[in-house]
């Protein structure tokens, strides 16, 4: 499934409640630390208990996750009690070590759970199809620096995050019944972030997500005529007025039918299904373009830019049909103004964008980074 990252050390440990934690390190560790992480989680944690289930919406043909246990998850703790910072005597956190580079661990409050094997489904008396919420949810900490941001990472640190994403995509894709792996970052309180430390998440879904299913349907429709929808679209965008940044291997552009005030999609020039299939050169080239776009987002206004960054990876059953890409978008349309999903968007799924995509691209290109 692609090249293995060279020079990356991976240390797999368990937390006090038996959740898995994985450290990713490259280069020399600070302070003469050993090459493998050995810190032990000494917290008196109870075993994690979850009650996730999936219910099928028969009208839309979509699965909905019900995860009522998440009501008790940690919400905007003070910086000195951050659960994503390295552990100290005063703050034994989710990361037992006193320092780290990139770390991934099983979410303590997951939307999906590996506690129960999925079944073929069934129905409750109301006639609703239900099955266990099988899957896996992980947290990815990008940096030990609490006040940092992805846009502020060095090229080497961002590249290590990409290698961690690739590793987890490969591992999670091999789990029984997992059909799609989704790496993403929510950034900013306006998005709904409950922990301010720079981090992202990974979901391993036991189904193909609605967005992906819709795109796959469109791709397959055009494939009957011998056309590749992804290739056609990328060629058109690379030649158009909405390109924001790029290099020999990646292009970042505002899509012609952007739904969000500021939305950028990043495509590799070579068709690959997921992050694992990217070569070392393609990963480096991605980091170059991604950090460029991230810094343009951060510098667009004199106010923080909330955003969602979403990797669109192939379902495990459709790798040959897919073209990996990243969707980066913000709900901020102007200083002090947010894009709300009101009646048309929330009720009917019809987006109304207040900013022309060409204008958004021009404004992003004009940002000095």
For tokens 């299913």, the residue is 213
Average pLDDT value over all residues in the chain: 92
Residue 166 lies in a domain: yes
Domain housing 131: 8-207
81 and 142 in a single domain? The answer is yes
Angle between helices 155-173 and 280-299 (to 10 degrees): 120
Q: Phi and psi of 246, rounded to 5°?
A: 175, 170
Selected residue with higher pLDDT from 116 and 240: 240
Quote the tokens at residue 144. 């030990």
Instruction: Let me know if 325 is a catalytic residue.
Output: no
188 and 222 in a single domain? The answer is no
Residue 3 lies in a domain: no
70 and 173 in a single domain? The answer is yes
The reply, when asked if residue 183 is annotated as ligand binding, is: no
Measured distance CA(107)–CA(202) in Å, rounded: 9
132 and 266 in a single domain? The answer is no
Q: Is residue 3 scored above 60 in pLDDT? A: no
Measured distance CA(118)–CA(168) in Å, rounded: 21
Q: Is residue 100 scored above 70 in pLDDT? A: yes
pLDDT tens-digit series, residues 329-363: 999 999 999 999 999 999 999 999 999 999 999 99
The reply, when asked if residue 141 is annotated as ligand binding, is: no
138 and 223 in a single domain? The answer is no
Residue 2 lies in a domain: no
174 and 215 in a single domain? The answer is no
The residue from 155, 177, 187, 199 that is catalytic is: 199
Q: At 118, is the pLDDT very low, low, confident or very high (cuts 50, 70, 90)? A: very low
pLDDT value at residue 125: 43
pLDDT tens-digit series, residues 226-269: 999 999 999 999 999 999 999 999 999 999 999 999 999 999 99
Measured distance CA(231)–CA(236) in Å, rounded: 9
pLDDT tens-digit series, residues 25-83: 997 655 555 567 999 999 999 887 777 889 999 999 999 999 876 766 777 799 999 99
The reply, when asked if residue 269 is annotated as ligand binding, is: no
For tokens 């469109």, the residue is 218
Please say which residue of 174, 207, 240 terminates a domain: 207
100 and 139 in a single domain? The answer is yes
Please say which residue of 207, 223, 247 terminates a domain: 207
pLDDT tens-digit series, residues 169-215: 999 999 999 999 999 999 999 999 999 999 999 999 999 999 999 99
The reply, when asked if residue 197 is annotated as ligand binding, is: yes
Give the CATH number for residue 353.
Answer: 3.30.428.10
Q: Is residue 128 scored above 90 in pLDDT? A: no
Angle at 285 (CA atoms; ends 311, 174), nearest 5 degrees: 40
125 and 183 in a single domain? The answer is yes
Q: Is residue 1 scored above 60 in pLDDT? A: no
pLDDT value at residue 123: 46
For tokens 């100290």, the residue is 88
22 and 171 in a single domain? The answer is yes
Please say which residue of 207, 235, 265 terminates a domain: 207
Measured distance CA(194)–CA(75) in Å, rounded: 5
Range 104-135 burial, b when 16+ CB lie within 10 A, else e: bbbbbbbbbbbeeeeeeeeeeeeeeebbbbbb
Q: Is residue 113 scored above 90 in pLDDT? A: no
270 and 329 in a single domain? The answer is yes
pLDDT value at residue 122: 46
DSSP state of 155: H
Percent of the chain clearing pLDDT 90 (strictly above): 83
Residue 40 lies in a domain: yes
What's the whole-number mean pLDDT along residues 321-334?
Answer: 98
For tokens 């000494």, the residue is 42
CB–CB of 366/244 below 8 Å? Answer: no
Provide the number of structural domains found in the chain. 2
Quote the tokens at residue 137. 């949810």
CB–CB of 52/69 below 8 Å? Answer: yes
The whole-angstrom distance between residue 94's C-alpha and the CA centroid of its chain comes to 20
Q: Is residue 158 scored above 90 in pLDDT? A: yes
Q: Which residues, in sequence order, are bridge partners of residue 201?
A: 139, 184
């Amino acid at each position: 499934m692609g090249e293995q990252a060279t020079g990356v050390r991976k240390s797999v440990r368990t937390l006090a409640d038996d959740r898995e934690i994985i450290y990713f390190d490259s280069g020399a560790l600070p302070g003469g630390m050993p090459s493998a992480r050995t810190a032990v989680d000494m917290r008196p944690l109870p075993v994690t208990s979850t009650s996730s289930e999936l219910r099928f919406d028969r009208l839309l043909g979509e699965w909905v996750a019900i995860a009522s246990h998440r009501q008790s998850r940690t919400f905007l703790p003070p910086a000195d009690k951050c659960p994503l910072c390295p552990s100290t005597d005063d703050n034994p956190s989710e990361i037992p070590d006193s320092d780290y580079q990139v770390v991934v661990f099983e979410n303590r409050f997951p939307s999906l759970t590996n506690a129960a094997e999925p079944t073929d489904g069934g129905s409750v008396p109301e006639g609703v199809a239900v099955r266990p919420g099988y899957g896996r949810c992980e947290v990815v900490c990008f940096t030990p620096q609490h006040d940092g941001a992805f846009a502020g990472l060095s090229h080497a640190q961002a590249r290590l995050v990409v290698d961690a994403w690739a590793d987890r995509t490969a591992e999670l894709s091999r789990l029984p019944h997992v059909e799609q792996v989704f790496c993403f970052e929510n950034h900013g309180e306006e998005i709904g972030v409950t922990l301010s430390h720079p981090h992202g998440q990974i979901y391993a879904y036991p189904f193909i997500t609605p967005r992906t299913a819709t795109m796959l349907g469109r791709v397959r429709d055009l494939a009957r005529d011998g056309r590749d929808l992804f290739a056609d679209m990328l060629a058109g965008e690379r030649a158009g007025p909405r390109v924001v940044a790029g290099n020999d291997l990646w292009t970042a552009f505002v899509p012609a039918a952007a739904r969000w005030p500021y939305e950028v999609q990043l495509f590799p020039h070579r068709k690959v299904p997921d992050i694992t299939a990217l070569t070392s050169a393609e990963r480096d080239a991605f980091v170059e373009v991604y950090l460029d776009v991230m810094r343009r987002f951060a510098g667009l206004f004199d106010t923080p830019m909330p955003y969602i960054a979403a990797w669109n990876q192939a379902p495990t059953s459709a790798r040959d049909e897919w073209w990996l890409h990243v969707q980066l978008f913000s709900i901020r349309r102007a200083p002090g103004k947010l894009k709300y999903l009101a009646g048309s968007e929330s009720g009917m799924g019809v987006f109304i964008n207040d900013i022309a995509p060409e204008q958004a691209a021009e404004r992003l290109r004009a940002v000095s980074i």
